[in-house]
Amino acid sequence: MSILEIASDRESLSLRLKTSESTADAAAVSSILHALVMLVDEANAAVGDGRAISIRVRPFEEGSLEIPFDLIVYGGAGLLAVNSVISQILKTIQQAVDLKKSLKGKPPDKLSVRGNEQSPQVINSGDNVVINIVQNPKVTAAFHRAFADAEKDKSIERVEIIDNESREEIVNITRQEFPYFKHPEVAEDEELLEERVRGELATLIVHTPVLAGKGKWKFIYNGVTISASMADESFLERVRVRTEQFGAGDRLDVELEIDEKYDNATSTYRRTGKYVVTKILNHSPPPSQKQRDLFGE
């Protein structure tokens, strides 16, 4: 039995490059497909139920370079209802693209939690999954490569993802919006810092709390274990007096500072491994089975 025969969930989609010709630059097509793979992988890791997923490209169709492909979830039923894994992934991808478009090239760390009226854009802590995907280094690098190459091909007017069954438009990025998906250009008179500290909103799973002293806490962040200094003194005081107590899988919505160093080889910033939690926004237990089912619906 082939792996395709045990697939339990499938969505037929198309990646469409709206172009005046029926051809496009191969580098642009390759880079955009690579960005799509990165988005699907990160969205599945964030909102999926642990099942494997793949993208299978089908034969080309006639037209303006529409590329049909199947999004397939393998394995038996997981925590989420049938078809909900793919629907959640597609919804997350749509929200991530919409966020990039709304930011117009600005980094997500310019956002703040609800209640700060001075912020240019306000978000809920529940949007952290989308923000984390947008800030994910693999996704940002893939986006940059894809749309830098797409800009070079003057015939590409638009990038779309279409549901083949309903013909519903899931993603629509116009040529004018291509720059929003690239790394911000550094002005000639702007100094490029060798190291920097970038802030972002993040959801951390508590791995090892420090209940006394000033040691570093351990968290699961984007599937990776990190150590971070805890700088929120009011939260630490609540820990000391046992107002804050922890169980397995507890989550913290936080303001996180990430130390980064510029990498000349890739022309991007890479994390150095130094993290500081500056503020705790919310402390919650892991989602229950019932909550996950509701989320899936």
Per-residue pLDDT tens digits for 152-186: 888 788 999 998 888 889 999 999 999 999 876 65
Region 7-30 average pLDDT:
79
In angstroms, the CA 293 to CA 237 distance is 35
Tell me the HSE value of 14 on the side-chain side, using a 13 A CA sphere: 21
Token pair belonging to 58: 């089908």
One-letter amino acid of 176: Q
Token pair belonging to 236: 């630490």
Confidence band of 217 (pLDDT split at 50, 70, 90): very high
Which CATH architecture does the domain made up of 195-296 adopt? Beta Barrel (2.40)
In angstroms, the CA 246 to CA 109 distance is 28
Confidence band of 189 (pLDDT split at 50, 70, 90): very low
Name which of 45-59, 60-74, 192-206 the model is least confident about.
60-74
Residue (of 259, 268, 252) closest to 205 by Cα position: 252
Q: Angle at the Cα of 146 (from 162 to 26), degrees rounded to 5?
A: 85
Backbone angles phi, psi at 282, to 5 degrees: -160, 140
Please write the tens of the pLDDT for every residue from 253-297: 888 999 988 877 766 778 899 999 999 998 988 875 433 443 343
- Kindly list the distances between the CA atom of residue 237 and the CA atoms of 152, 212, 227, 242, in Å, as whole numbers in the listed order: 55, 10, 20, 8
Backbone angles phi, psi at 285, to 5 degrees: -75, 165
Q: What is the largest CA-CA distance in the chain?
A: 68
pLDDT score, position 275: 94
**Which has more pLDDT, 184 or 212?**
212
Q: Where are the domains of the chain?
A: 3-181, 195-296
In angstroms, the CA 201 to CA 126 distance is 10
Per the document, the length of the chain is: 297
Confidence band of 7 (pLDDT split at 50, 70, 90): low
Q: Residue 70, class by beta-carbon neighbours within 10 Å (0-12 exposed, 13-18 middle, 19+ buried)?
A: middle
Give 284's contacts (C-beta < 8 A, 6+ positions apart): 250, 251, 253
In angstroms, the CA 125 to CA 134 distance is 15
Confidence band of 58 (pLDDT split at 50, 70, 90): confident
| Parallel, antiparallel or unpaired: strands 268-284 and 224-230 | parallel
